[in-house]
Amino acid sequence: MENRLEEMSSSLELSIIDSKLQDLSIDILEQPLDALCQNEAVKDIPIINVCVGIVKTYYNFTDWRLSRKIIAFLSNLAGIDIEKRQEMVNKIYEDSKYKVKVGDRLLSILDKCDDKIKAICVAQLFAAYIEKKISYDDFLRTSFAVNSISLIDLQEFLAIDDKQDLDEIDCHIYTNAGLIARYDINEIKKIEESPREQYRVGKLYNKYTHVGRLVKDILNIA
């Protein structure tokens, strides 16, 4: 088990920076996994042959499911310039505070995803990192939050209107996932330039956390 996870991790890293990744489409998941090895457009992407080989050799649902999530993840990075992908992957390696390899970290995150839609969410968050819209730390934080909530609850969270008063809805699920927190008036003054006059001392109010705001701004899974 450990050897094949290591193989998947290494091939995932290579695939992120592979020039042929641009040919990988989410529609390819409609094909049987073993048929991908005959697909001229994607057969040379490192992770494709590794996933097919592992599923054929050890065939079990867990490997098959993880392979599909990996492909869904990579297909959503296909439109990003290879130079940007290479630059940001290298940046992680050059930072001494990150001891876990990119492939290992991503594999762990994707393994925890409920399904391919969650994998697409992780890809959108990682794409935001590659595009320098968020830090790698924030990518890790937002990915953790996404995997801490069910897909249906995540979709409902993303559907909340920005004008909605969060104190009028049940937010405990979002609070548990770190997307929303309860703040007192002193904490609100630190995060809002013009706090509403009706805020009262001693009362707590629902507000988006930094992570929750990023998830709302970045994800699009409609």
Query: Using one digit for the tens of pLDDT, what is the confidence trace for 112-170?
Result: 999 899 999 999 999 999 999 999 999 999 999 999 999 999 999 999 998 888 888 99
Mean model confidence pLDDT for the chain: 84
The predicted pLDDT at position 26 comes to: 76
d(C-alpha 54, C-alpha 67), whole Å: 9
**Do 126 and 204 reside in the same domain of the chain?**
no
Determine the structural domain holding residue 173 and report its residue range.
Answer: 151-218
Q: Is 146:212 a contact under the CB 8 Å cutoff?
A: no
* Range with lowest mean pLDDT among 32-46, 85-99, 175-189: 32-46
The predicted pLDDT at position 50 comes to: 80
Which of 127, 145, 163 corresponds to the end of one domain? 145
**Do 11 and 115 reside in the same domain of the chain?**
yes
pLDDT in tens, 169-211: 999 999 999 999 988 777 766 666 655 656 666 678 788 999 9
Q: What is the mean pLDDT of residues 101-108?
A: 89
208 - beta bridge partners? 180
More confident of the two residues 59 and 131: 131
Q: How many domains does the chain have?
A: 2
Is the confidence at residue 90, as pLDDT, over 70? yes
Which of 111, 145, 179 corresponds to the end of one domain? 145
**Do 125 and 171 reside in the same domain of the chain?**
no
**Do 26 and 98 reside in the same domain of the chain?**
yes
Q: Which of 145, 158, 59, 76 is nearest to 109 (CA)?
A: 145
The predicted pLDDT at position 103 comes to: 87
More confident of the two residues 5 and 180: 180
**Do 181 and 124 reside in the same domain of the chain?**
no
User: Which of 44-53, 56-65, 151-160, 191-200: highest mean pLDDT?
Assistant: 151-160
**Do 71 and 116 reside in the same domain of the chain?**
yes
The predicted pLDDT at position 216 comes to: 96
The predicted pLDDT at position 80 comes to: 93
More confident of the two residues 116 and 37: 116
Which of 145, 171, 189 corresponds to the end of one domain? 145
Give the relative orientation of helices 136-146 and 82-94 as an angle to the nearest 10 degrees: 100
180 - beta bridge partners? 208
The predicted pLDDT at position 1 comes to: 54
**Do 139 and 166 reside in the same domain of the chain?**
no
More confident of the two residues 44 and 168: 168
The conformation of residue 208, written as its DSSP 8-state character, comes to E
